DNA sequence: GCGGAATTGTCACGAAGGTTACAATCGGGC
DNA sequence: GCCCGATTGTAACCTTCGTGACAATTCCGC
């Protein structure tokens, strides 16, 4: 079975944004110690506070990383897509998982067990530099997220989400205009950690302005450029 | 002048939460290359997007790290107190500063220039592990901040802030009860990115409940244990 | 002890967005 | 074509917290 083949795993790692720049020997080591694993849709991968088994390199599907509040509310932090990695912080510091994490559909991953991960790093400490820079990337993203939550109103967060989705849609869209995102408004609300009626109100507003068109289970982008403008408007200072 | 004395700088580093656990030789190196610097109250240290000179080890005063929105609003990320460090992310990845940063009063720091910092790290890559763990700490804090903004009401964020400050106060407090934090309510508000009157309202509430006592430029913790309870109450799921 | 700056206490008001509830609509399966 | 569950549209209401304004208090230097 290809999934148990170290060469196959090496190929995966070579295609991964976070691993591909490592030296060849390190990659081979990681390929050797990693294991294939499949999660079913909705299956729990880690609970907040519990140390996870190791690093997960997403191959197919997606991993949803969120915090559940006692009252049932949920803040979705990220939807980790194929080519990215989950669990780096916990793998390095050995503490509990930062978020409650589940598979967002049927999801295939490579598991790099924490102990083996650390052994490789300790044997070649220069690799730490690479992962430290990765952590920096994450940190910058997290800081931005805080800023956005505190400063950016729903309308703009929605516009940004739509732009991002349109730009990274699996279909690959001509230039955004006319693209139809097949999502329910509830799903969009979850991504923004907002209430569904609020999202509906803002979507309606965008529709009145002619920027989008709403359908039964979808949103069609009509004026991609103007949507983009909304993101920039009144947002953070240009950097 | 003691400020130009490498031994003096070494002593500072030995008292710093982030440096003291490094091997002695590394500490001496850092002491050798670091420089004393003084900022006046309100002086700008770095602008978002501009690569800073290096790492700043706070000796006295405080550094305010925030994002300024176009409309003048400000989200304060952290108020970095003596004993802590500013600028680690930018020092490692070399990109622009994450936040707009200024001295929060007259502030003394040790500057560890980025180039020298990296030279030391590259010469002893095992040090990267140490700083990687530090980055993990920061990342956890940032993730928590996102969750908190979205999920946790001011009352609890305030309680947590008070507990944290009491626990890490420079004086080292018997067990928290009776500890007096010497801060203005404005400063507390800034740390929480909240409005000063809101903080005042919540502080008053805590005072009525007998958990704290308010003074002119200070807050005295009366019931540390109960304050701690408020943090946990209704907050995120226990971890 | 007096004056003034800093700080705290308080209030009325408003904006953003969550909550609940329910009606209207869609679309697939029979 | 019809039914039913899923989805969307909408409204009334509430909570939280920011804003702006101002009075009251505290401290510090003179």
pLDDT digits (tens, 9 = 90+) for A94-109: 999 988 898 877 889 9
Asked if B117 has any chain A CB less than 8 Å from its own CB, the reply is no
Q: Residue B50: how many CA atoms within 13 Å on its side-chain side? A: 9
Asked if B77 has any chain A CB less than 8 Å from its own CB, the reply is yes
Residue located via tokens 């907040």:
A48
Contact B49 A93 (CB under 8 A): no
Q: Note the Cα B141 to chain centre separation in Å.
A: 11
CA–CA dist B64, A178 (Å, integer)? 45
Summarize pLDDT for A124-176 with one digit per residue, the tens: 988 988 999 999 999 998 888 878 877 889 999 999 999 988 887 665 555 65
CA of A216 to C1' of D1 (A): 21
By C1' distance from the Cα of A214, the closest nucleotide is: D8
The pTM assigned to this predicted structure is 0.80
Closest CA to A31 of A60, A9, A5: A9
Nucleotides of strand D within 7 Å of the protein's CB atoms: 6-12, 16-21, 26-27
> B110 CB contacts (<8 Å, ≥6 apart)?
B9, B12, B13, B34, B35, B36, B37, B56, B57, B59
CA–CA dist A51, A47 (Å, integer)? 8
Q: Which has more pLDDT, B204 or A76?
A: B204
If pLDDT is split at 50, 70 and 90, which confidence band does A237 have? very low
Contact B92 A133 (CB under 8 A): yes
Q: Which has more pLDDT, B231 or A207?
A: A207
> B223 CB contacts (<8 Å, ≥6 apart)?
B177, B210, B211, B212
Cβ–Cβ under 8 Å, residues B149 and A149:
yes
Asked if A149 has any chain B CB less than 8 Å from its own CB, the reply is yes
**CA-based angle A205:A209:A213, to the nearest 5?**
75
Q: Which A residues 84-113 touch B at CB under 8 Å?
A: 89, 92-93, 95-96, 98-100
If pLDDT is split at 50, 70 and 90, which confidence band does B174 have? low
> A145: which chain B residues are within 8 Å (Cβ-Cβ)?
146
Cβ–Cβ under 8 Å, residues A180 and A215:
yes
Asked whether the predicted pLDDT for residue B165 surpasses 60, the reply is yes
Provide the angle, in degrees to the nearest 10, between the axes of the packed helices A154-167 and A196-208: 80
Long-range contacts of A179-182 (CB under 8 A, 24+ apart): A179/A220, A179/A221, A179/A224, A180/A215, A180/A218, A180/A219, A180/A220, A180/A221, A181/A218, A181/A219, A181/A220, A181/A221, A182/A217, A182/A218
- A216 strand C contact, CB < 7 Å: yes
Closest CA to B214 of B171, B189, B174, B182: B182
> A73: which chain B residues are within 8 Å (Cβ-Cβ)?
151
DSSP three-state, residue B207: helix
> A49: which chain B residues are within 8 Å (Cβ-Cβ)?
238-239
If pLDDT is split at 50, 70 and 90, which confidence band does B2 have? low
Asked whether the predicted pLDDT for residue B132 surpasses 50, the reply is yes
What pairs with residue A110 in β-bridges?
A36, A57
CB-based burial, B206-215: b 16+ in 10 Å, e otherwise: beeeebbeee
CA–CA dist B128, A133 (Å, integer)? 10
Asked if B67 has any chain A CB less than 8 Å from its own CB, the reply is yes
Summarize pLDDT for B3-57 with one digit per residue, the tens: 568 899 999 999 998 999 999 999 999 999 999 999 988 888 999 899 999 999 9
């Amino acid at each position: 079975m290809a999934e148990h083949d170290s060469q196959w795993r090496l190929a995966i790692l070579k295609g991964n944004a976070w691993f591909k720049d490592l030296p060849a020997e390190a990659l081979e080591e990681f390929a050797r110690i990693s294991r294939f694993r499949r999660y079913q849709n909705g299956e729990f991968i880690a609970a907040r506070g519990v140390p996870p088994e190791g690093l997960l390199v997403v191959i197919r599907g997606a991993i949803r990383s969120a915090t559940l509040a006692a009252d049932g509310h949920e803040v979705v932090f990220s939807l980790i897509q194929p080519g990215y990695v989950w669990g780096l912080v916990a793998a390095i510091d050995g503490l509990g998982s930062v978020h409650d994490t589940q598979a967002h559909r049927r999801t295939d991953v490579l598991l790099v067990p924490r102990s083996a991960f650390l052994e490789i790093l300790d044997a070649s400490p220069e690799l730490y530099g690479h992962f430290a820079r990765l952590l920096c990337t994450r940190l910058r993203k997290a800081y931005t997220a805080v800023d956005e939550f505190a400063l950016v109103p729903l309308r703009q967060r929605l516009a940004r989400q739509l732009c991002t989705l349109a730009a990274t849609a699996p279909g690959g869209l001509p230039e955004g205009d006319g693209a139809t995102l097949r999502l329910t408004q509830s799903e969009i609300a979850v991504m923004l950690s907002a209430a569904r009626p609020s999202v509906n109100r803002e979507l309606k507003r965008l529709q009145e302005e002619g920027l989008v068109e709403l359908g039964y289970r979808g949103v069609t982008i009509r004026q991609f450029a103007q949507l983009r403008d909304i993101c920039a408007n009144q947002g953070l200072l240009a950097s």
